[in-house]
Amino acid sequence: MRYPGPALFLNLLLSLMLIVVSSTAAGGFETEAQKVYGAPEGAAGRTLRIISTADLDVFDPILVAFQAENPGIRIEYTIASTSELMKAISVEGAPFDLAISSAMDLQTKLANDGYAQTYRSAATDGLPQWARWRNQLFAFTQEPAVLILSAKEFGKDDIPATREDLINLLRSDPDRFRGRIGTYDVRVSGFGYLMATQDSRNTEAYWRLMEVMGRLDARLYCCSGAMIRDVANGTLALAYNVLGSYAGASPSAEGGSVKVVALQDLVNVMLRTALIPKNAGNPEDAHRLVDFLVSLSTRPAIVARSGLPPIDDNVLKANNAIRPIRFGPGLLVFLDQQKRRNFLRSWISSLEQE
């Protein structure tokens, strides 16, 4: 076997380095999946590029319906984590026309830091004041953080109604729940971090619950789908702060294998938001999709297929325990690096996670 000479080897090495550098520069953020919705042959060649944290199984019905009403638009739908979406828009300047995320705090920071376009229409004006911010962030769903229980593990008489009930239940039967409790790893999940910080502000029971879960070797997850799957298959007895909308739409939850519980003392409600990046190449079609999204309440068939609850002020008025997370500077408090470090230090200490 013949080996390349030093000069050739050096050229090959330099070429490889250039390829690696170019690849990194072209896409420094990580994606999880992508789907392209091609426009019909012969249609106008417009492309709408979306980056989103929403799983495809819940968002696909919305995109299919939107494209049916706008057949000339080709859609590129890219799925990324909340932190990677933030990086794509604010660090990489990636050429997306719409950013959709469940992390209200990170979306608020993007808008606050000048990465969002302003847009206003009759459709966005129809949103309640609490569901939009500066005409740059537009909420189109209201999704509660809930407790997910295994239907095999829980009967109708032992379902906890409040966080205090949950704490008492876990304490009363540690062997039953050891290693069988799930929640978000807030170090890696933007949505999990948002829910945890909101819990810490709104209920005194939060830190005691984390300590109990830590003593019972709680399992940490990146996302709701994985927790729902493990509750459904019996790996977990319960999971805390899961997106209720995903529980209803998840194939893992079919057949009544999980129970969804909205705790009566406090239900934090996340508002999924859309933002048009400053450097959007196709803002006109982004406007069309924003108007479509904020009008989901008028499209019950699409809502039923996606499982994503639309903005509905009446639902909130009917139950005082349901509290939508509010837009504004308060959402940025826990994004301060020192406050984030302090919070994570307390969280790690409570859960005794290394």
pLDDT of residue 24: 34
pLDDT category at 160 given cuts 50, 70, 90 is very high
Decide if pLDDT at 19 tops 50.
no
Q: What is the predicted pLDDT for the residue at 353?
A: 54
The per-residue pLDDT for range 141-151, each reduced to its tens digit, is 999 999 999 99
CA–CA gap between residue 115 and residue 6 (Å, rounded): 48
Looking at residue 245, its pLDDT comes to 82
- The whole-angstrom separation of Cα 338 and Cα 98 is 30
pLDDT at 50: 98
Whole-number average pLDDT of the chain: 87
The CA distance from 194 to 189, in Å, is: 9
If you average pLDDT over residues 295-317, what whole number do you get? 90
What is d(CA 191, CA 331) in angstroms, rounded to the nearest whole number? 12
Phi-psi region of 184 (alpha: psi -120 to 50; beta: other; left: phi over 0): beta
Residue 323 has a pLDDT of 85
Question: Chain centroid to CA 105: how far?
Answer: 11
In this predicted model, what pLDDT tens digit does every residue of 329-349 receive, in sequence order?
Answer: 889 999 999 999 999 999 999
Lowest mean pLDDT among 34-48, 157-171, 181-195, 292-306: 34-48
**3-state percent helix, strand, coil for the chain, nearest multiple of 5:** 45, 20, 35
The label of the residue with tokens 């019996």 reads 234
Protein fold of 143-269+335-351: D-Maltodextrin-Binding Protein; domain 2 (3.40.190)
Residue 156: pLDDT band with limits 50, 70, 90? confident
Q: Tens digits of per-residue pLDDT, 197-255? A: 999 999 999 999 999 999 999 999 988 889 999 999 999 999 999 988 877 655 555 55
Share of the chain above pLDDT 70, in %: 88
Position 272 confidence tier, pLDDT thresholds 50, 70, 90: very high
The yes-or-no verdict on residue 9 having pLDDT over 60 is: no
- Per-residue DSSP letter, 330: G
Where is mean pLDDT largest: 1-5, 15-19, 98-102, 312-316? 98-102
Strand, coil or helix: 183: strand
Query: Contact 48/76 with Cβ under 8 angstroms?
Result: yes
The class level of CATH for 29-142+271-322 reads alpha beta
CATH code 3.40.190.10 region(s) in the chain: 29-142+271-322, 143-269+335-351
Q: How far apart are alpha carbons 183 and 209 in whole angstroms?
A: 11
